[in-house]
Amino acid sequence: MIVKSLAAAALAFLPLAVQAQSTALPTDPAADWSVATSEHRVAVEGGKVWVRVNGTIGEGATPVIFIHGGPGGTHLGFGGLLSLADQRPVILYDQLDSGMSDHPEDPKNWRPERFVAELEAIRKELGIARWHVIGHSWGSALALEYAAAYPEHTASAVLSGTFISTPHWITGTNLLIRDLPDDVAAAIRACEGPKPPAAAICGPATAAFYAAYNGRPDRPAPSPAAIAYRTRYGGKGFNAKVYNAMWGPTEFRASGSLASYDATHLLSRIDGKRVMFVVGQYDEARLDTVQDFVALTPGAELAVVPGGSHAFIGERPDVAEAIYRDWMARIDAREASE
């Protein structure tokens, strides 16, 4: 699901994370796209989260914050979108217990409402009145919950690689398994059963699922800048403990605290004209499922990334950037005219 998928895609792109070094920032952040204009440690329930900003708050267009997936993922998949800072401040962060943020690893913190409160704490700390919230996978659920709870601070909400309901997600992944070659589908079902076969069978079958729906073989190779970025900002990386506790062992089976999670009722509480869903053509989130979400959100838009899977931000970076850039520019223009 959720961001184990995004994290797995990021891991496929880049070498193993190393502990980030604490170094002084150069005077010209534009000289290196991996360098933040400012970095912050924001106090939240349970500890402090690491936040980076490219651009100056209060200058340029309405800021945007990108919300990573997981649970337990990191911001790394959004590194290539820092180019959006030529128009507006771009904010990336790692959720508590992930990446560069504190790792108390206290299960009491692993609640959707705490993750939403984390976003609001960041907004207050940075002094932002309104911002665009763009979530991917599990981050979509947080973007939706935030937009419903804080409409006065939400210029728009983008739900990418959309996870907002575990029952819908599990139904979707099972349909996707059915579409795989018969031998692969049979192997995955066996591996999800009470007596799974050996890893030599389960590993390749799971890899085939990811190659189809989350990290397609034609994705671009990592650039030197991306490799350098992960080296500097990888922190402690993906947190499997959080993922397993909140979600479960695989993309196909939810046994954690999110097993019955369903936020579709919130779609009727938000302003659909300020909502966009984005999925890859071959996304784990399944286009049919997301179209149902769009239908429940009057006025919402849907963008599909051709040739992209759940990892479309890394696979089709130019298309993803263009979609987000155009969407925010149109929302900003609408707000300016109101």
Cα–Cα distance, 304 to 279 (Å, whole number): 5
pLDDT at 32: 57
Three-state SS for 132?
strand
pLDDT at 222: 85
Residues classed as catalytic: 137, 283, 310
- Count the residues in the chain: 338
pLDDT at 125: 98
Predicted structure pTM score: 0.91
Q: For 7-17, write each residue's pLDDT tens digit.
A: 333 333 222 22
Cα–Cα distance, 280 to 286 (Å, whole number): 8
Q: Do 191 and 310 touch, CB atoms closer than 8 A?
A: no
pLDDT at 223: 83
CATH architecture observed for domain 2-175+211-337: 3-Layer(aba) Sandwich (3.40)
Listed by start position, the domains of the chain span 2-175+211-337
**Tell me, what DSSP letter sits at residue 232?**
H
Q: For 59-107, write each residue's pLDDT tens digit.
A: 999 999 999 999 999 999 999 999 999 999 999 999 999 999 999 999 9
pLDDT at 12: 30
pLDDT at 229: 87
Question: 66-101 burial, b for 16+ CB within 10 Å, e for fewer?
Answer: bbbbbbbbbbbbbbbbbebbebbbbbbbbbbbbbbb
φ/ψ bin of 46: left (φ > 0), alpha (ψ from -120 to 50), beta (otherwise): left
pLDDT at 227: 86
- Chain-centre distance of CA 89, in angstroms? 18
Pairing of strands 90-93, 47-54: antiparallel
pLDDT at 251: 85
pLDDT at 245: 97
pLDDT at 124: 98
Give the C-alpha distances (Å, rounded to integers) separating 307 from 65, 304, 310.
Answer: 25, 9, 10
Residues of the chain with pLDDT under 50: 2-31
Cα–Cα distance, 54 to 38 (Å, whole number): 7
pLDDT at 249: 85
